[in-house]
């Protein structure tokens, strides 16, 4: 089985839709082809994202209340329409629902920026979205290499900073490559690592915040670790368990620490 044949069947294989013979053929191919094994891992991660609700927005309670109130008001005005309501008032009544929906949409867009949720909560949503987007678009890397001496120079001239790139293969977190991404209103470095079949995205960009310890978050079914260090902010996201992801973050933190004078 060639890679082209395998990639046409990976989705069906992951969903359990292949017969026994095809399943055995693709399993044999996956044992000898890391690229197709990564493709399978990406498919499963995307499936997990949908199951965990990462691609679904849950409307806030206030939105529910606004829509229900608008509907009740419209029903009341409609009941009066046959008796005393004027054409002008009827137009206002029928406009109630879209007005409420428009107000709700404005709340969704602007409320996070108005401080209703914390800055870290909002940014962690961006980070998770960036992780899922890289899996959906099958665009994990712009430069695919396990050699940090290849990945680090690739960012030269593409970013206004030089991200630290650690080689953690001996610790069980091999580097896969890197790419450019866009978070927090600016271009950032995205470094991609693996832990078994789990994809880890490490986002790095300059920060004016003082150095801080790690904070571990859970966002839409993903684990997220965040810290600031030596003028950089670090965000790590994966469906890997929180304990191993924190171990990965500590290895990155130790590697990025300045050498003692």
At 103-138, the pLDDT tens digits run 555 544 444 444 334 567 778 888 998 999 888 867
Residues 179, 192 contacting (CB under 8 angstroms): yes
What pLDDT, in 10s, does the model give residues 152-204?
A: 999 999 999 999 999 999 999 999 999 999 998 899 999 999 999 999 999 99
Mean pLDDT of 73-98: 56
pLDDT for 102 equals 56
Residues 140, 199 contacting (CB under 8 angstroms): yes
Residue 166 CA: distances (Å) to CA of 9, 178, 251? 34, 12, 9
pLDDT for 61 equals 65
Mean pLDDT in the chain?
Answer: 79
For residue 261, pLDDT over 50 is answered with no
23-37, 133-147, 197-211: range with highest mean pLDDT: 197-211
* Residue 56's pLDDT band (cuts 50, 70, 90): low
pLDDT for 105 equals 54
**% pLDDT > 70, the chain:** 70
Domain boundaries, the chain: 3-52, 61-110, 118-256
Looking at residue 171, what DSSP letter applies? Answer: G
Fold for 118-256, please state it: Phosphorylase Kinase; domain 1 (3.30.200)
Residues 114, 98 contacting (CB under 8 angstroms): no
For residue 49, pLDDT over 70 is answered with no
């Amino acid at each position: 089985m060639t890679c082209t044949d395998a990639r046409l069947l990976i989705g069906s294989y992951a969903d359990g839709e292949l017969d026994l013979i095809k399943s055995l053929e693709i399993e044999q191919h996956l044992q000898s082809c890391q690229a197709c094994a990564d493709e399978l891992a990406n498919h499963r991660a995307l499936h997990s994202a949908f199951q965990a609700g990462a691609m679904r927005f849950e409307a806030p309670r206030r939105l529910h209340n606004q829509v229900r109130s608008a509907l009740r008001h419209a029903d009341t005005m409609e009941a009066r329409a046959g008796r005393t309501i004027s054409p002008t008032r009827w137009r206002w009544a029928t406009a109630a629902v879209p007005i409420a929906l428009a107000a709700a949409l404005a709340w969704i867009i602007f409320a996070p920026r108005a401080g209703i949720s914390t800055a870290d909560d909002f940014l962690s949503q961006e980070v998770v979205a960036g992780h899922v987007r890289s899996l959906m678009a099958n665009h994990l890397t712009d430069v695919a290499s396990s050699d940090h001496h290849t990945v680090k120079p690739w960012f030269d001239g593409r970013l206004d900073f030089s991200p630290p790139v650690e080689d953690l293969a001996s610790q069980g977190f091999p580097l896969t490559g890197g790419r450019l991404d866009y978070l927090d209103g600016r271009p950032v470095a995205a470094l991609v690592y693996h832990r078994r079949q789990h994809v880890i995205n490490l986002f790095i960009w300059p920060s004016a915040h003082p150095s801080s310890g790690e904070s571990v978050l859970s966002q839409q079914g993903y684990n997220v670790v965040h810290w600031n260090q030596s003028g950089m902010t670090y965000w790590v996201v994966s469906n890997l368990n929180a304990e191993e992801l924190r171990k990965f973050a500590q290895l990155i933190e130790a590697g990025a620490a300045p050498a003692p004078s």
